[in-house]
Every structure is written in structure tokens, then in C-alpha cells.
Amino acid sequence: MDEQKSEGQGPAQVAAEAFVSLRLPSHLTLERLIAIVAARRRRRIEIEATTILNGTSVCGLWLSTDTREIILHAFTDSALHRQQFILHELGHMILRHDELGISSEYAGSLFPNLDGEMVSRALARSSFVDDLEAAAETLADLLAGAIRDSTMEPRSFEQVFG
């Protein structure tokens, strides 16, 4: 999505335009969506539950490197919660929020043991928290709806008529 074009638009409109631009297939699963986003980002996506986030106000965290996208999320027994955590972070990827960051030099000074570029991408959202988070969550909701709707569609004549 063109960031200049999105200036002046509300989070819901930005999310809706990003959703339409994906041109998603009619039969969508979370796994298929992850593959689509990975292809767009030209990096593999790794997803892992971590206890580090349990008990905090952060349910998910996205870290981007030159070769991979990493989504960390809190442990949950709910498959729907897990999916929403992942969809929210995929929303940030689709909306290219990593390109709105703080300088890698400054980020490197905050976390000297980590790559400054990676840290700046992860922290970029904190400067524009409200609109960026709202856009990512709205996009996650649209993606969840697409996944839910595609599971209700009959995939063949036999599934409908047995």
C-alpha cells in the first residue's frame, strides 16, 4: 500500500484498501494467507508462542529481519485468539508498518545486544500507536472474516449433495 496515499485516511479506510489490494482467493485458510504474505514480503514467516508475553498487555510481537518475519504471540488455549494474534501482526506486515520506524542507530543504542534495524522495525509502531494499531486490528478483522466465510462455502458438488 502506498503510504503517501494513505495520509489523511482513517485506519478503517486504510485497512479496507489494503484488504482489497490483496486480491485474496475465495478459499482462504490462515496457512494460505501466511504463504501469500510471505510471498509479498519475500521472506519466510516464523510463528512461535512464547511465555514472555503472557501476563503482559502485549499479545503479539512482530520482528522483521532481512531474511525472515518472526511473529511471537502469547500462549492461549483458544485457536481463535491465536489466529487473531497472528492476523494482527500480519496486518502490520501487509500495511508495511516496519517502514515507518525510528532510526536503527537510536534503536541500537536502546538494545545494544540486538540488531538496531530489527529493533527499530519492532518499535516503529510506538510512535503512531493509535492509528497504526487500529488499522492493523481492522485489517485482522477483515482477514478473519475472509477465513471464516471461506470455510462456510461449499468446495464441491459432493460436499453439498453428498
pLDDT digits (tens, 9 = 90+) for 110-132: 456 666 666 666 655 444 457 88
In terms of phi and psi (left: phi > 0; alpha: psi -120 to 50; beta: otherwise), the region of 91 is alpha
β-sheet bridge partners, residue 63? 70
Q: pLDDT value at position 4?
A: 39
Return the pLDDT at 161: 55
Give the number of other CB atoms < 10 A from CB of residue 106.
13
CB-based contacts of 14-20 (< 8 A; 24+ apart in sequence): 14/95, 14/135, 15/91, 15/95, 15/135, 15/136, 15/138, 15/139, 15/142, 16/138, 16/142, 18/91, 18/94, 18/95, 18/135, 18/139, 19/139, 19/142, 19/143, 19/146
Give the start-to-end residue ranges of the domains of the chain: 11-146
Q: Write the CB contacts of 85 (distance below 8 Å, at least 6 apart in sequence).
A: 59, 60, 71, 73, 74, 76
Q: What is the dihedral of CA 18, 66, 56, 49, to 10 degrees?
A: 90
Residue 102 has pLDDT above 60, yes or no: no
pLDDT of residue 116: 62
Q: pLDDT tens digit string along 21-45?
A: 999 998 999 999 999 999 999 999 9
Residue 78: predicted pLDDT? 95
pTM: 0.75
Query: pLDDT (tens digit, 9 = 90+) per residue, 43-99?
Result: 999 999 998 888 888 889 999 888 999 999 999 999 999 999 999 999 999 999 887
Which position has the higher pLDDT, 1 or 123?
A: 123
